[in-house]
């Protein structure tokens, strides 16, 4: 089992920055990939970015490339999402997820990010 707790969401003006954190407990953190997803009101949950267990491979959605950066600290069992140049369309609930095996099968409770214009 893996438990995930996100933090760092909030209200920010367009062009601003936020850093989300996700702390994991349970299984060995350094053995699985981590990802961030988001869900805007009335929309389906969408992939944002993921990072391999070793931290050397990342994949970003086109909509966030060049603005968001994922990183992880295995010693702290934490994955981060640095979000810069935020846009109103980035407004969503952001979820941290762990991929143990083929799928992302563990999820946090989500943290709200609101970007005002």
Q: What is the pLDDT of residue 101?
A: 82
Q: What is the pLDDT of residue 93?
A: 98
pLDDT value at 27 more than 80? no
Q: What is the pLDDT of residue 62?
A: 98
Question: Can you tell me the distance from the alpha carbon of 30 to that of 8, in angstroms, rounded to the nearest whole number?
Answer: 22
Q: What is the pLDDT of residue 100?
A: 84
Q: What is the pLDDT of residue 56?
A: 87
Task: List the beta bridge partners of residue 70.
Answer: 81
Q: What is the pLDDT of residue 88?
A: 97
pLDDT value at 31 more than 90? no
Question: Can you tell me the distance from the alpha carbon of 94 to that of 45, in angstroms, rounded to the nearest whole number?
Answer: 9
The mean pLDDT value for 22-40 works out to 91
The mean pLDDT of the chain is 95
- Look at the block and give the residue holding tokens 């062009």: 15
pLDDT band at 29 (very low <50, low <70, confident <90, very high): confident
Measured in whole angstroms, the distance separating CA 90 from the mean position of its chain's CA atoms is 12
Instruction: Please give the biggest Cα pair distance in the chain.
Output: 41
Instruction: Express each pLDDT in 47-82 by its tens digit.
Output: 999 999 888 899 999 999 999 999 999 999 999 999
The mean pLDDT value for 36-41 works out to 97
């Amino acid at each position: 089992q893996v438990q995930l707790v996100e933090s760092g969401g909030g209200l920010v003006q367009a062009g601003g920055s936020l850093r989300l954190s996700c702390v994991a407990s349970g299984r060995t953190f350094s053995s699985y990939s981590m990802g961030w997803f988001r869900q805007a009101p009335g929309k389906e949950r969408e992939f944002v970015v993921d990072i391999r267990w070793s931290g050397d491979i990342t994949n970003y959605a086109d909509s966030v490339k060049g603005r968001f950066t994922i990183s992880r600290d295995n010693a702290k069992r934490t994955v981060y999402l640095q979000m810069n140049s935020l846009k109103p369309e980035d407004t969503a609930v952001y979820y941290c997820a762990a991929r143990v095996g083929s799928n992302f099968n563990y999820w946090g409770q989500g943290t709200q990010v609101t970007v005002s214009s």
